[in-house]
Amino acid sequence: MYDKTVRRRRAVLVLLVVCSLILLTAYFGESPGSPLHSVQRGFLGVVSPVQDGASRALKPVRDLFGWFGDTLDAKKQRDELQKELQSARKEAIANAAAARDNVALQKLVKLDTQIGTDQMNPVTARVITRSPTLWYSTVSINKGTSSGVKVDQPVINGDGLVGTITAASGNSSIVTLITDHTSGVSALVNESGVAGVVQPAVGNPNDLLLQYIRRGDQIAVGQNVVTAGSKSARYESLFPPGIPVGRVTKVDNQELDVYQRVHVKPFAQLRKLDIVQVLTAPQGAATP
């Protein structure tokens, strides 16, 4: 019984194949107006509306799947663009920081060469914290006693005098700025040699006062104030001579006062300190 069924199916298959070949041969051999072409056109005429209706009915489904596909592709592209943007932003920040450091270091090298502080074994350090007060009277740096930094050593940056070391540990130190109320720097007017002491003005962290300047001494706005580097048998300044301190911005010369009030704006932007140098060798000492 099984063999008969198999043989019958094979015979039907062969018959269908033969009929298909005959129809194909006849179709391609006939003219466009032949009966077979007419049958094809009639079949298409009947089926086309059905196909069109089915296509319209299924269009929302196709659109939905297309929307899902487009959304997934868009999210993937968005994630890739975000990663590229983050990478570019990090690179830009790193480049900007490197450029800023390069400018600061170039200014330090120039100042070291001009005033000879390169002979004082300067140790370059970075500011890591600032005091939480409005005045920023102290900052912390990332170099300490392990690098030769000690208390009372002067600190500069590429613009000029910054302050002194007031505390030091193994790998960090505290710098008290020249605007702190405890600060006092022997200084002179570079153009005239008139000497005094630079101290912070009360209530203004961006203003220094060159004190003890007699009324008869000629001081003009725009003149430069530098460290005096005083030396004597009993006293030696913490600061070597010639370090830029600031520029004279105003002179108060009241007739009843013995001294003038000479206002000085610091060259160093003390609220924006980043890279500094500690001068670790005393004046005149040989650098090891």
DSSP string, 199-256: EEPTT-TT-EEEEEEETTS---TT-EEEE---B-SS-B-SS-TT-EEEEEEEEE--TT
Residues counted in the chain: 288
Higher pLDDT: 288 or 215? It is 215
CB atoms within 10 A of CB 239: 26
- What is the rounded average pLDDT of the residues 263-284? 87
Indicate whether 8 belongs to any domain.
Answer: yes
**What is the model's pLDDT at position 171?**
93
Indicate whether 52 belongs to any domain.
Answer: no
Measured distance CA(162)–CA(140) in Å, rounded = 12
DSSP 270: G
**What is the model's pLDDT at position 201?**
85
Of 62-71, 197-206, 232-241, 260-269, the range with the highest mean pLDDT is 260-269
Residues in contact with 282: Cβ distance below 8 Å, sequence separation at least 6, in sequence order: 120
At 156, is the pLDDT very low, low, confident or very high (cuts 50, 70, 90)? very high
109-115 long-range contacts, CB within 8 A, separation 24+: 110/158, 111/156, 111/158, 111/159, 111/160, 111/244, 112/277, 115/240, 115/241, 115/242, 115/243
Same-domain pairing of 26 and 127: no
Measured distance CA(260)–CA(237) in Å, rounded = 23
**CATH code of residue 204:** 2.40.10.340
Residues in contact with 173: Cβ distance below 8 Å, sequence separation at least 6, in sequence order: 125, 140, 141, 143, 144, 149, 165, 167, 278
Of 107-111, 224-228, 267-271, the range with the highest mean pLDDT is 224-228
Indicate whether 235 belongs to any domain.
Answer: yes
Higher pLDDT: 246 or 29? It is 246
**What is the model's pLDDT at position 52?**
58
Measured distance CA(279)–CA(115) in Å, rounded = 12
Same-domain pairing of 125 and 26: no
Q: How many domains does the chain have?
A: 2
Q: What is the three-class DSSP state of 34? A: coil
Indicate whether 166 belongs to any domain.
Answer: yes
Indicate whether 164 belongs to any domain.
Answer: yes
Same-domain pairing of 141 and 272: yes
Higher pLDDT: 165 or 19? It is 165
Q: What is the span of the domain harbouring residue 268?
A: 117-279
**What is the model's pLDDT at position 190?**
92
Indicate whether 71 belongs to any domain.
Answer: no
pTM of the model: 0.64
Indicate whether 40 belongs to any domain.
Answer: no
Same-domain pairing of 235 and 125: yes
Least confident of 75-84, 152-161, 166-175: 75-84
pLDDT over 60 (residue 210): yes
**What is the model's pLDDT at position 174?**
95
At 136, is the pLDDT very low, low, confident or very high (cuts 50, 70, 90)? low
Q: For residues 158 and 106, is the Cβ–Cβ distance under 8 A?
A: yes
- What is the rounded average pLDDT of the residues 97-113? 72
Indicate whether 222 belongs to any domain.
Answer: yes
Whose CA is closest to 127, among 161, 180, 172?
A: 172
